[in-house]
Chains A and B, each alone.
Chain A
Amino acid sequence: MTTPAAWTPPPAVPPRRLIVTLAGAGAVAGALILVAFRATLPAITAHRAAALDEAVREVLRDPARYDTLFLVNDTLVSSPPQGADPARVEQIYVGFGSDSAIAGFAIPAARPGFADVVRLIFGYDAANGTLLAMKVLENKETPGLGDKIEKDSAFVAEFTGALAPLVGVKSRQGKGTPNEIDMITGATISSRTVIRAINEAIARVRPAIERYVAEGVP
């Protein structure tokens, strides 16, 4: 819906004035935006970093410290390739315990769920192939049903200590093996999305993680 412009007879406005007006408006707009950008950028960057930091620490269960690694050609390296935008390179995080031994890896994962893509991050203990914790970062699943993958603490707790690859079972109908995850009743697809996203992510980055561990911490 636009407001139709009232038709007016073409007044004699020289084209130069039109160009000058638009250029002036553009310049003022650009300047205002640049000022606002400069003023808000530190806070925005800090919020983003804090949110990521909190998630990584949570799924690595409070590591003494952690480093960011970049997945390049199936190898984990500590700095992004020359000239590439770091934000576009797949990143995982390696956490260390107080004894400087590797405590685990925080791996982001995503998969289409019931409504839209579900994004999550999980901690993975490569030494014995178990999960440390799982945290859903973003979901648009059905409120009250599918969004329990983020809000239901019992479901979230299922992932701690579970053995990969995970298998989803109906609530309280599993055999009690360490790779079972009790799915949420009424939200099987959302539950399965989380499980599959994790399994896929582990299968994808595991060779790189194993090589990284074998080569020792630089």
Chain B
Amino acid sequence: MGDLIWIFVSAAVVNNFTLMLFLGLCPFIGVSGRVETALRMGAANTFVLVLTSIAVWALNTFVLPVAPYLRLISFIVVIASLVQIVEMVIKKVSPALFRALGIYLPLITTNCAILGLAVFQTNRAYDFWQGLFFAIGAGAGLTLALVLMASIRESTELVDVPDIARGTALVLLIAGSLSLAFMGFAGLLSTA
């Protein structure tokens, strides 16, 4: 159990996907302008992360021992199909949720965080439960980073920033400070 908690906390803060491993930067830089959107985006990503983790576990257990060289290609195909299926299911079941998440869902396919999770989970030979906790932790970390960024950007909108710093440069510098702060989480679980 301690092992699972370590995996969760490590993925969520100590090795935060966005701020420490640079995974899932596109939504982080591109769309994190509103806290509410950031929350929805984070939720959508977490959902796909969990589904991917389960699918990757199944692939690693049943398919890839036979054909290890098809690893990457099968991951990307599975992720693309998963996103497509999730999109269709949400559209059918809850049109309101679909309208809220709609435009973000296709974007998730090319989000490095999803493929990153699949590759890390495989490299570290996680079993089913470890993979699941890893995915939930990664999703929580991603959401946390998105929400933090969005709330900072909401307040910087009204701040008099030098115009050459507007846009990506400012986002990167803020992200650098956030990343610096997250480095403080290192050692969180090893002092025990």
Q: Please report A residues at the B interface, Cβ cutoff 8 Å.
A: 1-2, 29-30, 33-34, 36-37, 85, 88, 112-117, 142, 189, 192-193
Whether A29 contacts B73 in the complex (CB less than 8 A), given A113-B190, A114-B186, comes out as yes
B125 touches A189 (CB 8 A): no
Interchain Cβ contacts under 8 Å between A and B, 27 examples: A1-B26, A1-B30, A1-B110, A2-B107, A2-B109, A2-B110, A30-B73, A33-B69, A33-B70, A33-B73, A34-B69, A36-B69, A112-B6, A112-B10, A112-B189, A113-B190, A114-B187, A114-B190, A115-B15, A115-B186, A116-B10, A116-B14, A117-B124, A189-B187, A189-B190, A189-B191, A192-B190
Chain A nearest CB, measured from B124 CB (Å) = 8
Chain A residues closer than 8 Å to B106, beta-carbon distance = 2
Whether A115 contacts B14 in the complex (CB less than 8 A), given A1-B26, A1-B107, A33-B73, comes out as yes
Chain B residues closer than 8 Å to A116, beta-carbon distance = 10, 14-15
Chain B nearest CB, measured from A154 CB (Å) = 22
- CA separation between A117 and B176, bound complex, in Å? 24
Chain A residues closer than 8 Å to B187, beta-carbon distance = 114, 189
- CA separation between A33 and B65, bound complex, in Å? 16
Chain B residues closer than 8 Å to A2, beta-carbon distance = 106-107, 109-110
Whether A88 contacts B125 in the complex (CB less than 8 A), given A2-B106, A114-B186, A115-B15, comes out as yes
| Tally of B interface residues using CB under 8 Å | 21
Chain A nearest CB, measured from B110 CB (Å) = 5
Find the B residue at minimum CB distance from A4: B106
- CA separation between A114 and B192, bound complex, in Å? 12
Chain B residues closer than 8 Å to A36, beta-carbon distance = 69
Chain B residues closer than 8 Å to A33, beta-carbon distance = 69-70, 73
Chain B residues closer than 8 Å to A193, beta-carbon distance = 190
What 3 A-B pairs are tightest by C-beta distance, nearest first?
A: A37-B69, A1-B26, A114-B187
- CA separation between A117 and B70, bound complex, in Å? 27
- CA separation between A2 and B107, bound complex, in Å? 6
Interface contacts beyond A85-B65, A116-B10: sample of 10 additional A-B pairs, CB < 8 Å, sorted by A: A1-B26, A29-B73, A30-B70, A112-B10, A115-B186, A116-B14, A116-B15, A142-B186, A189-B190, A193-B190
Best-buried of A2, A85, A189 by chain B (most CB within 10 Å): A2
Q: Mark B150-192, 1 if CB is under 8 A from A, else 0.
A: 0000000000000000000000000000000000001101110
Chain B residues closer than 8 Å to A29, beta-carbon distance = 73
Chain B nearest CB, measured from A44 CB (Å) = 11
Chain A residues closer than 8 Å to B14, beta-carbon distance = 115-116
